[in-house]
């Protein structure tokens, strides 16, 4: 097995949870979101929401559910700084599998792991004939291709790649797992593109990309 650890930044996987209403309020007394007519049930414990539309900026943003929501309440434990705000503005609550800026693991079976080293150097030959070498840099890369992935796995893989495509670092452990780390390498995506290949008519995929060791 191999392991990737990344911070979710882009294309974070949404859930089907989406609520919009003018009856949604925020309560500082228990740092919760509440509604009188909009049904808030359906959000699961530890899932995330992105709220928008509140007049007070402290009530907009990313929050993790603490317990399953009920028809009238979402409890969250991301912050204890919600500001009491009455219903009125149109508020939207979108559910997500994971939260912005949070670290997540991707454990996968590798089909290919190829370590490469590129050395950039300049050589000078002296008058006496001796050769002098000036080493400019040494770049270590890993060409990675996953084993077959199910279609349901693609959303998190796309999330990982989008979250690293701006040069953000992630951790790659070629032969380790979350339970048994081996050699955790800090990396960036080396190439400007990556591939997602569907295997014929089946709903199985292979993802290939290159990681550059920082």
Q: Identify whether residues 209 and 128 lie together within a single domain.
A: yes
Q: Identify whether residues 84 and 118 lie together within a single domain.
A: no
Does any domain span residue 94?
no
pLDDT digits (tens, 9 = 90+) for 119-128: 887 777 777 7
Tokens found for residue 25: 């309020």
Q: Are the beta carbons of 119 and 138 closer than 8 angstroms?
A: yes
DSSP per-residue codes, the chain:
-EEEEEE--SSPPEEEEEEEESSEEEETTTTEEEESSS--TTPPTT-EEEEE--SSGGGSEEEEBSS---SSEEEB-S-S----B-S-S-EEEEEESS-TT-EEEEEE-EEEEEEEEEEEEEEEE-TTS-EEEEEEEEEEEEEEEE--EEGGGHHHHHHHHHHHTTS--EEEETT--SSS----EEEEE-SS--EEEE-TTSSEEEEEEEEEE-
Tell me the pairing of strands 170-173 and 149-150: unpaired
Cα–Cα–Cα angle for 100, 92, 29, nearest 5°?
Answer: 80
Q: Identify whether residues 63 and 147 lie together within a single domain.
A: no
Binned at pLDDT 50, 70 and 90, residue 183 comes out as: very high
Q: Identify whether residues 138 and 74 lie together within a single domain.
A: no
Query: Which comes out higher in pLDDT, residue 122 or 180?
Result: 180
| CATH code of residue 181 | 2.40.30
pLDDT digits (tens, 9 = 90+) for 141-156: 999 999 999 999 999 9
| Whole-number Å distance between alpha carbons of 181 and 175 | 8
pLDDT digits (tens, 9 = 90+) for 17-34: 999 999 999 999 999 999
Rg, C-alpha atoms of the chain:
24
Neighbours of 53 (CB within 10 A): 16
Does any domain span residue 199?
yes
Query: Mean per-residue pLDDT for 170-191?
Result: 94
Does any domain span residue 99?
no
Does any domain span residue 141?
yes
Q: Identify whether residues 141 and 166 lie together within a single domain.
A: yes
How many domains, in total, are found in the chain? 2
Q: Identify whether residues 78 and 108 lie together within a single domain.
A: no
Q: Identify whether residues 77 and 108 lie together within a single domain.
A: no
Asked if the model's pLDDT at residue 68 lies above 80, the reply is yes
Q: Identify whether residues 71 and 115 lie together within a single domain.
A: no
Q: Identify whether residues 118 and 192 lie together within a single domain.
A: yes
pLDDT reported for residue 124: 72
Domain interval for residue 32: 23-89
Does any domain span residue 97?
no
Q: Identify whether residues 201 and 167 lie together within a single domain.
A: yes
Does any domain span residue 18?
no
| Whole-number Å distance between alpha carbons of 142 and 116 | 6
Integer distance in angstroms from the first to the last C-alpha of the chain?
22
Does any domain span residue 163?
yes
Q: Whole-number mean pLDDT of the chain? A: 94
Domain end position, chosen among 89, 112, 130: 89
Domain end position, chosen among 33, 65, 89: 89
Does any domain span residue 15?
no
Q: Identify whether residues 119 and 167 lie together within a single domain.
A: yes
Q: Identify whether residues 59 and 112 lie together within a single domain.
A: no
């Amino acid at each position: 097995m191999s392991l990737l650890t990344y911070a979710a930044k882009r294309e974070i996987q949404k859930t089907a949870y989406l609520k919009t209403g003018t009856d949604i309020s925020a309560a500082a007394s228990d740092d919760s979101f509440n509604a009188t007519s909009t049904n808030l049930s359906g959000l699961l414990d530890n899932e995330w929401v992105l709220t928008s539309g509140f007049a007070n900026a402290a009530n907009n943003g990313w929050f993790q559910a603490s317990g399953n929501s009920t028809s009238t309440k979402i409890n969250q434990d991301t912050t204890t700084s919600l500001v009491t705000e009455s219903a009125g503005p149109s508020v939207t609550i979108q559910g997500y599998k994971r939260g912005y800026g949070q670290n997540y693991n991707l454990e996968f079976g590798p089909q290919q792991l190829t370590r490469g080293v590129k050395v950039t150097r300049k050589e000078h030959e002296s008058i006496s004939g001796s050769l002098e070498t000036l080493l400019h840099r040494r770049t270590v890369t890993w060409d990675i291709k996953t084993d077959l992935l199910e279609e349901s796995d693609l959303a998190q893989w796309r999330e990982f790649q989008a979250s690293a495509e701006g040069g953000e670092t992630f951790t790659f452990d070629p032969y380790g797992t979350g339970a048994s780390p081996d050699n955790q390498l800090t990396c960036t995506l080396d190439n400007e593109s990556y591939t997602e290949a569907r295997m014929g008519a089946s709903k199985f995929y292979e993802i290939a990309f290159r990681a550059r060791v920082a």
